[in-house]
Amino acid sequence: MHPLHCRWHRDHPFFYNKCIVAKLVSVIIPNRNGSSTIGRCLEAAFSSRYDPFEVIVVDDCSWDDSLEIIKRFPCRLIRLQRHSGASKARNTGASNSNGEILFFTDADCLLEEDALSRACETLEREGPGVIVGGTYTPLPYDRRFFSIFQSVFINYSETKRVEAPDYIATHAMAIDARVFRDSGGFPEEFLPILEDVEFSHRLRRGGYRLLMDPAVQVRHIFDYSMARSLGNAVRKSRYWTQYSLMNRDLLADSGTASVELKVNVLTQFVNLSLLVLWMLLQKTVFLLPLLPLLLVNLFTSRGLLRAFRRTGGSVFALLAGLYYTMPYSLAVGTGAFMGTVRYLLEKMGPSHGCMEKKAKRTLGDDLQP
């Protein structure tokens, strides 16, 4: 029997208490060699103040000791027979779940105690035709500079358009279980990442609404050095560019692939080109646009710079701004170049259009919100 959740409302001149039957939530976590984080992830999940919920961990053929760690917790453990990727793991978890609501997160994410409660309240208020998303806390679990930079960047980027986000990320996604099953789930034959972006776009085309609730938060374990931060930027940018070219939305303001980031990369590319021309030709005219382009970049990214300052203070904001406008933009630009080349090679290759068709897979006629 599900417990009753009672809340005070102000819908009437007099206060009254409204009790609702709480729905069972299935928390679904894919795991692949997550021994360094899965223990803390499960500790946080079982510290949730929401009730009732179940936790399902789907292991994607790990070879570390994460299975022994998972078995210490009262969760369901499902093991895939062969390495199949995060999409297959999430779909398998969903198909073996009992909850009316599915909450997807990752093995390196720590749910805040009220994350499930807030997600369920939003879903209850908005109805099953809405997919509710959460985001990272501005401060991550580990307090390394590059980890804080990444957490602030993602939190800011994902919460700019709460009423109409471009996608809902699987680090904190709440969805009606029937809607998820009717949708066909996450694409299992796709790019190595961005399956949540494709899934979000597909559901939105089918008439469902995406909604970001900034109060639904998870604390991410990054443990980023500068090398790991830049490597992540190259990898994400490569596949995001490839997908955006297939989806024909390269210039869209899409979460972390934001207009600010694209302006940042473009202005830095132009500035570097002008500096090379100046060094080769020794013409001062090539230096004149540098400052105006930098000011345009800073003005466009002013919201992100303010977020850096709110989280870490002025010194952190200065250092984060320098990192964002210089090495980070170069890494993103490198990844974008690699993604563009890969896209063009696939367009010219014998498998022309194969991946593009997968990326543009549409919803069936029976899927209606």
Averaged pLDDT for residues 162-190:
96
Residue 365 has what pLDDT?
38
What total number of domains does the chain contain? 1
Residue 349 has what pLDDT?
73
User: Among the listed ranges 6-20, 36-50, 244-258, which one has the minimum average pLDDT value?
Assistant: 6-20
Residue 369 has what pLDDT?
52
Averaged pLDDT for residues 248-269:
88
- Please write the tens of the pLDDT for every residue from 206-241: 999 999 999 999 999 999 999 999 999 999 999 999
**Is 186 a member of any domain?**
yes
**Is 76 a member of any domain?**
yes
Q: Is the pLDDT of residue 303 over 50?
A: yes
Residue 186 has what pLDDT?
97
**Is 246 a member of any domain?**
no
For residue 115, the enclosing domain spans: 4-223
pLDDT band at residue 367 under the 50/70/90 scheme: low
**Is 52 a member of any domain?**
yes
Residue 139 has what pLDDT?
97
Q: In this structure, what CATH number is given to the domain that contains residue 93?
A: 3.90.550.10
**Is 365 a member of any domain?**
no
Averaged pLDDT for residues 126-136:
96
SS (H, E, C) the chain: CCCEEEEEECCCCCCEEEEEECCCEEEEEEECCCCCCHHHHHHHHCCCCCCCEEEEEEECCCCCCHHHHHCCCCCEEEECCCCCCHHHHHHHHHHCCCCCEEEECCCCEEECCCHHHHHHHHHHHHCCCEEEEEEECCCCCCCCHHHHHHHHHHHHHHCCCCCCCCCCCCCCEEEEHHHHHHHCCCCCCCCCCCHHHHHHHHHHHCCCEEEEEEEEEEEECCCCCHHHHHHHHHHHHHHHHHHHHHHCCCCCCECCECHHHHHHHHHHHHHHHHHHHHHHHCCHHHHCCHHHHHHHHHHHCHHHHHHHHHHHHHHHHHHHHHHHHHHHHHHHHHHHHHHHHHHHHHHHCCCCCHHHHHHCCCCCCCCCC
% of the chain beyond a pLDDT of 70: 89
**Is 197 a member of any domain?**
yes
Q: Is the pLDDT of residue 296 over 50?
A: yes
Q: Which residue has the higher pLDDT, 225 or 2?
A: 225
- Please write the tens of the pLDDT for every residue from 81-116: 999 999 999 999 999 999 999 999 999 999 999 999
Residue 5 has what pLDDT?
47
Whether the full predicted model's pTM is greater than 0.85, yes or no, is yes
Q: Tell me what the pLDDT averaged over the chain comes to.
A: 90
**Is 331 a member of any domain?**
no
- Please write the tens of the pLDDT for every residue from 11-35: 433 333 444 578 999 999 999 999 9
**Is 171 a member of any domain?**
yes
